[in-house]
Amino acid sequence: MKPTIKDIAKKIGVSVATVSRVINNRSGYSPETEKKVLKAINKLGYYPNALARGLVGKKIKTIGVLMPSVSSMVASKILSGIEDAAHNKNYSVIICNTDNSGKRTINYLRVLREKQIDGIIVVSEILTDEYINVIKKMEVQVVLVSTIDKGNNFTYIKVDDIKAAYQTTEYLINKGHKNIAMISGTKNDVVAGIPRVKGYLKALEDYGLSKKKENLVYGDFSFDSGKICMAKLLKQSPKISAVFAASDEMAIGALSAAYRHRINVPEQLSVIGYDNTTLAQMTTPPLTVLSQPFYQMGYEGLSMLISKIKGESVENKILPHIIIERQTVKDINR
């Protein structure tokens, strides 16, 4: 059987309290007893039982991460950052793939609660009132990564999407483009949909470019929707010289559709993506993108959560974004 603190106490004739002290580096024992205890621990192959520790009131050092899909490129990058940070701080992370299912989310929340986790990170989820209520009742610390809730009840870390989309559009404008289309993500998505369209529209306006209705189409962030949207665009608005896609996948879909229609990128049409997932550098030609710092978002998000767990007060954080120039945007000024 697994040796317990009792076993090692008995073996060397001290009390369990003493053993506990040395295990936890508390003060109150002589160097000799320490040596004896350590030796016995080693010999018996003892290791503490985290459940028992957790029961007594100490933290279990585990957090839960809720995300719509663990296998999406974006989510897995963020997860990777979370995981790295957690490892550095000696926390474990339980993943919860909500699959955008309300029932599943609520169920996960219940399980996490039962397992006494110390905090939760919500990644890229659209937070419904139902979730918010359940989470509030849980009395755990929460950090939102790459998302936000209406009431700003929860601490978040993300990129400023309006600004990022604005600058992406501005970048195209600076390259001489005047007839710029946008392939937006899901129409009513308050996090990654609406704000990006807003930024796009604002830039057009500020630069005195006309906002044509036929230049704005809506996909759902996926590759296939990018393909479809591009085809649509080519048909209803053939004069565009550049298209801004609200995700890398849609941008790649656009590339694919352009190829099929024998339109050369970037010679005849410029394309810019959004996210900078691993995919972006693998396309031919490599995709110019607005890059979001996903890994960092995860890493810092976890750090913020730990701070909150420790009782420190934590501010919301907006991370900087940059444009990574590759080969899908043509400067038509020259």
Amino acid letter, 14: V
Per CB under 7 A, the list member of 10, 16, 44, 198 interacting with DNA is 16
Q: Are 45 and 35 in contact (CB under 8 A)?
A: no
Joined together, the tokens standing for residue 252 give 């790649």
Options 48-56, 164-172, 213-221, 321-329: segment touching DNA (CB under 7 A)? 48-56
Joined together, the tokens standing for residue 91 give 């926390």
State how far the Cα of 139 lies from the Cα of 73, in Å rounded to an integer. Answer: 31
| Upstream peptide bond of 195 is cis (omega within 30 degrees of 0) | no
83 binds a second copy (CB under 8 A): yes
48 binds DNA (CB under 7 A): yes
Q: Are 319 and 159 in contact (CB under 8 A)?
A: yes
Per CB under 7 A, the list member of 39, 42, 49, 100 interacting with DNA is 49
Options 83-91, 120-128, 173-181, 317-325: segment touching a second copy (CB under 8 A)? 83-91
3-state helix vs strand vs coil in the chain, percent to 5: 45, 15, 40
CB of 321 to DNA, least distance (A): 43
**What is the total count of residues that contact DNA (CB under 7 A)?**
31
311 binds DNA (CB under 7 A): no
228 binds a second copy (CB under 8 A): no
State how far the Cα of 221 lies from the Cα of 219, in Å rounded to an integer. Answer: 6
60 binds DNA (CB under 7 A): no
The contact pattern for a second copy, residues 17-46, with x = CB under 8 A and - = no contact, is ----------------------------x-
CB of 319 to a second copy, least distance (A): 18
| 210 interface partner picked from a second copy, DNA, none, CB below 5 to 8 A per type | none
State how far the Cα of 256 lies from the Cα of 287, in Å rounded to an integer. Answer: 12
20 binds DNA (CB under 7 A): yes
The contact pattern for a second copy, residues 97-126, with x = CB under 8 A and - = no contact, is x------x--xx-xxxxxxx----------
Q: Are 146 and 65 in contact (CB under 8 A)?
A: no
State how far the Cα of 251 lies from the Cα of 261, in Å rounded to an integer. Answer: 15
Q: Which of 300, 266, 292 is nearest to 167 (CA)?
A: 292
CB of 123 to a second copy, least distance (A): 13
Per CB under 8 A, the list member of 4, 236, 237, 256 interacting with a second copy is 256
* First-to-final CA distance of the chain: 77
Binding site for DNA (CB under 7 A): 1-2, 4-6, 13-18, 20-21, 23-24, 26-30, 32-33, 46, 48-49, 52-53, 55-58
